Structure 1
Amino acid sequence: MFDTFAALLDWFGIVVFATTGALVASRKQMDLVGFVLLGTATGIGGGTIRDTLINALPVFWVREPAYLVTCVLVSCAAFFLAHIPQSRLKLLLWCDAIGMALFAVTGAEKALVAQAGPVVAVAMGVITATFGGIVRDVLGGESPVILSREIYVSAALGGAAIFVALATAGIPREFALAGGFLAAFAIRAAALRWDWSLPRYRPRPGRTREEIDP
């Protein structure tokens, strides 16, 4: 039951993230090849880096090419359907929030299965959730969302940490996954809804010589 639940979350995350990559391609008015490139890189990018870092080789989409095929099919479908939403940017942001929350917990889960410690598992959840979006934004000529004022990495970190904490405390994995996902999505959704952001560094005048050596 758990394996099925985790697999469904993983597949849904792949589809959602591939969709966000294709939506960026639509905003840039790319051709079909551009859609496939951005959709595929977004869908499997974070997981590829995760599997490489935890030495889970070959990476997941090499073991199961269906992941790669799914990204290609989703991207092709988006090429013909991306004009339907009234606001592709708004759809992109909300789909990205769902994908981020899903990958934060499934990435951490795969790291735990690979016998990684809790801290490493949380880090792998964040990497899985964010690096696909970084690749998407760089290839699409967008400012990476993790460098914006909005709360993004913090949401992934919170969701992955809550999942790992629940899982290591003995909570059934289905509930731990659901709890981590809901936490990450709720934080990101609140940031989108109310324009939350973390405090930013503000330059301050340096100390004078008199203050340093009175």
Structure 2
Amino acid sequence: MDIAEFIGSAFADGQVLTVPWGIDYFSVVVGVLTGALFACDRKLDIIGTVVLGLLTGYGGGIIRDVLLQDKGVYFTSHPDLILLCIVLCAFVFYFRGLFKHLDATVFFADALSVGLFALAGASKAYACGEGFVLTVILGAITAVGGGAVRDICVGETPGIFQQSNFYAVAGLGGSLLFTVLAYLGSPLVVAGIACVLAVVLLRYWSVYFDWKTRDEADLTPHVTRGLGSLKRLVSGVFLHGGDRISTRRQRKRSRARKGDREGEERR
């Protein structure tokens, strides 16, 4: 399927978005590439590089397909792509020096692949009729699941669970945007393009403006201070304020009694 057929079918069919195989392959290949480079940075051998590359490229999709239990598993449906990814991992392992000066290119390709993964996960869940919430969740899982599995395999806390520039947030945002537009009746090709653009822009903006998720956010002190202020306010109104009202009433009664006594004395 070429791009023209993709756009035409997406506008014609409001339920299923068929992504061209070239775009699909590109997202997987970039995921595999980033996984292989990650393995080289950790000084793993050729087997480790291939395994981590495949896990990064396919991990999120495998989790999605297992949870959906529908329409097969993408990993086993394209053996030619698996072979291509293995060759790519081997190339990265033996010629990693070629990628040292391509950080900006790899970053852009990675951001684009995350957006495409989010689109693939959300669109497949939407086509299966999984509902709004699960469509958003499965899109986000597809976007970042491979990276999380990769980190776990090398004994590290997944990067998506740590303070960092937007990665999981970007995938979640793109998936959410696609789902909202799809449920509002927008053509799925428009929703898909918006999803990918949202992910890429969120990734770039988070790095440019140094937006990061917080590693801790304890609101207990703020809530405690707020409750203390509220308690003092309530106490002032209903207790001390009531005491003042009672005091004024007693003074009025005292003055009234004093006036009565003075009147009796005059008589």
TM-score by length of 2: 0.70
Please report the RMSD computed on the Cα atoms of aligned residues, expressed in angstroms: 2.7
Equivalent AA in structure 1 for residue 199 of structure 2 = A
Identity of aligned residues (%): 34
> How big is the shift at 1:112?
1.4
Per-residue Cα deviation, 1:114-146 (whole angstroms, up to 9, x for no partner): 222122111110000111001112223444221
SS of the residue 1:84 aligns to: helix
1:84 equivalent among 66, 78, 98: 98
Per-residue Cα deviation, 1:165-195 (whole angstroms, up to 9, x for no partner): 2223333322221111000110011112221
1:97 equivalent among 99, 104, 111: 111
Greater per-residue helix proportion:
2
Structure 1 residues 111 and 181, CA gap change in structure 2 (3 angstroms): same
Identify which of structures 1 and 2 has the higher relative contact order when contacts are C-alpha pairs closer than 8 Å and 6+ apart.
1
Number of equivalent positions: 211
Equivalent AA in structure 2 for residue 201 of structure 1 = A
- Does 2:71 correspond to 1:63? no
1:146 equivalent among 160, 167, 173: 160
Gaps of 5+ in 1: none
Structure 1 residues 88 and 134, CA gap change in structure 2 (3 angstroms): farther
SS of the residue 1:35 aligns to: helix
Which residue of the partner structure matches residue 208 of structure 2? 193
Which residue of the partner structure matches residue 118 of structure 1? 132
SS of the residue 2:57 aligns to: helix
| C-alpha distance in structure 1 between counterparts of 2:219 and 2:178, whole Å | 37
Structure possessing the higher radius of gyration over alpha carbons: 2
Structure 1 residues 178 and 201, CA gap change in structure 2 (3 angstroms): same
TM alignment of 1:167-182, pairs within 5 A: 167-182=182-197
| C-alpha distance in structure 1 between counterparts of 2:102 and 2:156, whole Å | 14
| C-alpha distance in structure 2 between counterparts of 1:4 and 1:124, whole Å | 17
Per-residue Cα deviation, 1:33-70 (whole angstroms, up to 9, x for no partner): 11101000111110000001111264112233233223
| C-alpha distance in structure 1 between counterparts of 2:72 and 2:204, whole Å | 34
Which residue of the partner structure matches residue 17 of structure 1? 31
CA contact 1:22–1:75 (8 Å) conserved in 2: yes
CA contact 1:118–1:164 (8 Å) conserved in 2: yes
Which residue of the partner structure matches residue 29 of structure 1? 43
